[in-house]
Amino acid sequence: MPVTLRQLHYFQALVEHGSFSRAAESVYVSQPALSLQIRELEETLGGRLVERKSRGINLTRLGREAHEQTLRILDETSFLELMGKQFDEGLARVTVGIVSTLSSYLLPGLLDRLQQSSPRIEPTVVEATGADLVSDLLAGRLDAAIMSLPLGMIELPERELFEDRFLVAGRAGALDAVRSHSDKPRPENLARADVGPLLTLADGHCLADQVLGACSMWRQQDVHRGAGSLATLARLVAGGEGITVLPETAASCERAISPALSFLRLAPPEPLRRIGLVHRLAAHGQRWIDPLAEAAADAGRELTRQARETVGESPRRA
């Protein structure tokens, strides 16, 4: 019995949702119907793909290898089905995810540049956390994503676009207190200065984890997590609620909105995040990838250039 695309779609849904009932609901069939297709797929492949557990499923070794192939096959099939729709008289329509801590700052410059690209790219933009972007890429809901690297996933080729360095942000008095410990403060100087709590994004944002990694010396009780956006963090610290760490790409925009907001660079090597373009494996070689990457890289470098004008250049290495 040959493997069918229906079986692969059902198998992918099962892996994605982690249970037969949720998978069946997601593909609009009954649970017995989905179970039958999975059983037939297992018979064709000659072994069990999943093991039922009290709370979901576990993939067998065969299941893990079959899932990798399933992602590739469904990806290629999706591109084949959409090939005629995606390109129309030089227009490339792609669904692009942008990590939420970057999207509002990068998007204006990115869209301007894409209007002038060849082929002209018409993006449908999805804003989400890094984890959700990866999930959407693997499920075929996105063609590409602009997000923090590295991911290190074979199924998702990636290329670095630009570096986004971290800046300490707060009212001028708070940053002067940090400077009092060192002319070129390091992350550990932040914890020693009497500047109030360190405010960060809520759980689920990869940038929050990156900031806490850079500021690992900070006492846990003095770290306040919970903000939903960088804009919220900027408003809070501009109002004197403590200090935070913002990426360069946010600096010019947030200073324009909150004139009381000041920034401070840390001593080299400055903590940073690396922003890159990640795409589905089946998109390899598609003509929109290079123009999209170039537009995003150029827009990102323009934001960091503006940050240098707003904050000043990075301190020289000793």
Q: Is the pLDDT of residue 282 over 80?
A: no
Helix (H, G, I), strand (E, B) or coil at 92: strand
Q: How confident is the model at residue 318 (pLDDT cuts 50, 70, 90)?
A: very low
- The Cα–Cα gap between 156 and 143 comes to 10
State the span(s) of the chain assigned CATH 1.10.10.10.
Answer: 5-75
Tell me which CATH code domain 5-75 carries: 1.10.10.10
- The Cα–Cα gap between 38 and 285 comes to 33
Query: Domain 165-272, what fold?
Result: D-Maltodextrin-Binding Protein; domain 2 (3.40.190)
Mention every residue, 6+ apart, whose C-beta is less than 8 A from residue 155: 68, 71, 72, 138, 280, 281
pLDDT at 316: 41
Q: Cβ distance 181 to 189 under 8 Å?
A: yes
| Residue 161: closest CA among 276, 302, 289 | 276
Q: Where are the alpha helices (DSSP H) in the chain?
A: 5-17, 20-26, 31-45, 61-86, 100-115, 130-138, 172-179, 187-192, 206-214, 230-238, 248-257, 289-311
Radius of gyration of the CA atoms of the chain, in A = 23
The half-sphere exposure of 241 on its side-chain side, counting CA atoms within 13 A, is 15
pLDDT at 113: 94
pLDDT tens for residues 224-266? Answer: 777 889 999 999 999 988 889 999 999 999 999 999 999 998 8
Q: Which CATH class is domain 84-163+274-307?
A: alpha beta
- Lowest mean pLDDT across 171-180, 254-263, 267-276: 171-180
Tokens of 65: 């290898």
